[in-house]
Structure 1
Amino acid sequence: MSSQAAEVTEVLVVGAGQAGIAMSEHLTARGIPHIVLERHKIAERWRNERWDSLVANGPAWHDRFPSLEFADVEPDAFATKDQVVEYFEQYAQLIGAPVREGVEVTSVRKRDGGAGYIAETSAGTIEARYVVAATGAFQLPAIPPIVPADAGLFQLHSSAYKNPDQLPQGGVLVVGAGSSGVQIAAELRKAGREVFLAVGPHDRPPQRYRGRSFVWWLGVLGMWEASAPPQGAEHVTIAVSGADGGHTVDFRDLAASGIRLVGRASGYADGKLTFDGDLADNIRLGDENYLSMLDAADEFIERNGLDLPEEPEARDLGPLPADALEPIREVDLAASGITSIVWATGFRSDYGWLQVDAFDELGRPKQQRGVSVEPGVYFLGLPWQSRRGSTFIWGIWHDAKFLADQIGIQRGYLEYDGNGAPSNFVPRERPAVAAS
């Protein structure tokens, strides 16, 4: 620990992405002193860990915080990554968020002989009664150990991919069928590259249906509020795109553009990659997910008597791509001209700096709605933290409000002196009791 006197604050928020900024807004609204530390810059992942052409996958009217609209984006358009960065910078200024950029938190541990926590940072020591880990769950690129680093291929994670010119000449294998994988594969194909795309299980919502965005349909159908994923679908990716003005992802279209489709990558030996024979099943299951949403939307329209244009052509899917009917199970990378692999395979969490008893044997936070089993520690930005929408911009805002309320409740308890409730105490919500 540094010999310099520690700075003291009520709440220490670690991370100044969308989670940290949302947390700061709600703490400020409650008058709770706090500091937000960011090791790089505000919205760093949007700023430097996305490819150049990325746009948000939801329309601007939805993918934002309630208190501020995007300044230069039409409501039904899709903000670019740079516009998202500008949005959060503007938002932090609007709410007066006490963000300190360029400050890395190296450790947080319990305070010996007293309540609260001690954080060691690159700018000194900070003591806080409460700590909010607002770094989210997507911190470290997750690359499956399939192709060794010395295989003679240029390999990078989607978070490090910027544009086609970054890759050496030759074909590219993109692994991952979520939004990142399909958009990067399409961009590479448009740039004239030979592209293979490894497709695993996925959900495939329509970008728009009967004049409404998929985010609207998820809202009115109550799907955003689902509290837990279906059994066996905890890590299923979502294939949806805001690119080119927004469009529904269909692997038939990708195949028609010249992209070769394969199943999940499963092994590598002697310069050859092997793939599971699950491509057709993965596409069919994605189709079922797509059609089930159309069914639910049609039923909602009829039940509520809405006058929305019919769209029967949305159900015309066409035959499966040839690669699904005769699956490619092995690819000789050199013979196929593949020189690069882009791993669009997601992320894993990294809470190594948070040295408290708040994690299970796999390093996952032990929490409920972001409230840790370790008193005074909170998590924000986790998948399914409270609902399906918890990792989306608007969902994080609502989860942050809940956590600020919980911190306020705990502060109220601590202010109690045995002589009546403190003035700022907010009791927990209780069910209404009918009058007798």
Structure 2
Amino acid sequence: MASEKVEVVVVGGGQAGLAMSEHLSAKGVSHLVLERARIAERWRSGRWDSLVANGPAWHDRFPTMEFANAGPDDFVGKEQVADYFVDFAKQIHAPIRCGVEVTSVVRLQGKNAFQIDTTEGTIEATSVVAATGPFQKPVIPPVIPAEAPVQQIHSNEYRNPDQLAEGAVLVVGAGSSGVQIADELQQAGRKVYLSVGPHDRPPRSYRGRDFVWWLGVLGLWDLAAMEPGKEHVTIAVSGAEGGKTVDFRKLAHQGMTLVGMTAGYEEGVVTFADDLAINLKSGDENLQSIFDAADAYVERTGIDLPQEPEARMQTLDPACVTDPVRALDLAAAGITTILWATGYVQDYSWIKADVCDDKGKPKHQRGVSTEPGIYFLGLPWQSRRGSSFIWGVWHDAKYVADQIEIQRSYQQYPG
């Protein structure tokens, strides 16, 4: 028997859950936000020490609150980002309960409601919003056996170079996390090998504007779907050191060894695909396409932004690109750690309903589940390219709140 009733339960107290709470409160919808740890816990304990936001403070925020003690073009640190969400929760008077984990959601037989079982009791709600975000279960591909004589950790466990055993490091994955961690390790004096897969490589800035501005005015944040064939393409971008364009070749000239995608392992030897040059070329094409689109925008609109021809200059190929390493004996190379920056999968097993496909991905339309009364928020590409970003999830939350209100009005119709 449920001891408490509320219209909506929001599961997750990060950026998605708090955005949802703001919009539900604005509509007068009673709700609870349940967070199993602290507000924005992933920012505090699921990231490395030196992480900063990948976008400037003027852009990577909710529209209704600015960052305190940060300039508009600053890339704020992870703790400041977490503090921002704590302050936001206070600003909107979010009905949030921390330290409460949701263990299951089950539709009540014969009722337009769900039973939400938690570590603090049972709640009955008409609707449930799964706002647990995209970073739920770290993924380490089954390439190198766990018993191999080398430390293996996922990027969510990495904190700083001193945490790792002495020796060289193989970083697998060249998205934002992989390239930033590899760069940090190299600057700390480590020998680093970086396994580079398919990626997009936007400029940090161009003609005096950050790339988030360019994606905005060019309408690229609002793309409704990922380009076919790029489902597994990551974005190599960094806000570290005040923000800089990722240049894999430059990192290689500074001592890093680039290799292709990690393909196999046998008796202490890791093998790599022969795709390094192809992956770098694809990233270069993405970079140049943004330059081209930006230049065309300036010409079309007449906006006064200085030309930047040096931005198009490409660093010469280093030896590891012209003569790629296809196999690496870990012991001979002195590699003591393999760091997997290979992303996450989502886990909605706690929702006891047919809400996911056979790959575990939610079945939904802009966050509205195929199961009436269940909603999702914080998914990559939930409605657009910007959906998993701080500002993007805020707009998705508004849409989901609108849908909840629409269903609420139908249910309240007296007949």
Could you say which TM-score interval applies, normalised by the shorter chain? over 0.9
Query: Which of 276, 279, 287 pairs up with 2:276?
Result: 279
Query: Which of 234, 237, 245 pairs up with 2:234?
Result: 237
Deviates most, 250-259 or 215-224: 250-259
Secondary structure at the aligned position of 2:17 is classed as helix
Q: 1:215 maps to which residue? A: 212
Query: Which of 48, 51, 54 pairs up with 1:54?
Result: 51
Paired residues, number: 415
CA contact (8 A) 2:198 2:232 kept: no
Q: How far apart are the structure 2 equivalents of 1:311 and 1:64? A: 28
Query: Which of 294, 299, 307 pairs up with 1:297?
Result: 294
Q: Does 1:92 align with 2:89?
A: yes
Q: CA RMSD in A?
A: 0.7
Q: Does 1:170 align with 2:167?
A: yes
Q: How far apart are the structure 1 equivalents of 2:230 and 2:249? A: 23
CA contact (8 A) 1:174 1:181 kept: yes
- Give the drift of 1:362: 1.3
Q: Does 1:392 align with 2:389?
A: yes
Letter aligned with residue 292 of structure 1: S
- Give the drift of 1:253: 1.2
Q: Does 1:41 align with 2:38?
A: yes
Secondary structure at the aligned position of 1:216 is classed as helix
Secondary structure at the aligned position of 2:333 is classed as coil
Q: Which runs of 5+ in 1 are unaligned?
A: 419-436
Q: 2:129 maps to which residue? A: 132
Q: How far apart are the structure 1 equivalents of 2:7 and 2:21? A: 12
CA contact (8 A) 1:137 1:350 kept: no
Letter aligned with residue 334 of structure 1: A
Q: TM-score, normalised by structure 1?
A: 0.94
Query: Which of 335, 338, 344 pairs up with 2:335?
Result: 338
Q: TM-score, normalised by structure 2?
A: 0.99
Query: Which of 65, 73, 77 pairs up with 2:74?
Result: 77
**Cα-to-partner distance string for 1:316-364 (whole Å, 9 max, x where unaligned):** 1032222111110000000000000110000000111111111111111
- Give the drift of 1:137: 2.4
- Give the drift of 1:154: 1.0
Q: 1:111 maps to which residue? A: 108
Q: How far apart are the structure 2 equivalents of 1:393 and 1:330? A: 40
Q: How does 1:191-202 map to 2 (within 5 A)?
A: 191-202=188-199
Query: Which of 169, 177, 198 pairs up with 1:180?
Result: 177
CA contact (8 A) 1:240 1:249 kept: yes
CA contact (8 A) 1:280 1:320 kept: no
- Give the drift of 1:235: 2.3
Q: 1:312 maps to which residue? A: 309
Letter aligned with residue 48 of structure 2: W
Q: How far apart are the structure 2 equivalents of 1:53 and 1:89? A: 20
Q: How far apart are the structure 2 equivalents of 1:156 and 1:11? A: 37
Q: How far apart are the structure 2 equivalents of 1:370 and 1:44? A: 23
**Cα-to-partner distance string for 1:275-301 (whole Å, 9 max, x where unaligned):** 001000000000000001000000000
Q: 1:415 maps to which residue? A: 412
Q: Does 1:402 align with 2:399?
A: yes
Q: 1:265 maps to which residue? A: 262
Q: How far apart are the structure 2 equivalents of 1:171 and 1:214? A: 33
Q: Does 1:362 align with 2:364?
A: no
CA contact (8 A) 2:14 2:41 kept: yes
CA contact (8 A) 2:127 2:373 kept: yes
Letter aligned with residue 285 of structure 1: S
**Cα-to-partner distance string for 1:3-37 (whole Å, 9 max, x where unaligned):** 6x421110000000000000000000000000000
Letter aligned with residue 237 of structure 1: T
**Cα-to-partner distance string for 1:378-405 (whole Å, 9 max, x where unaligned):** 0001111000000000000000000000
Letter aligned with residue 107 of structure 1: S
Q: How far apart are the structure 1 equivalents of 2:9 and 2:253? A: 51
Q: How far apart are the structure 1 equivalents of 2:192 and 2:316? A: 21
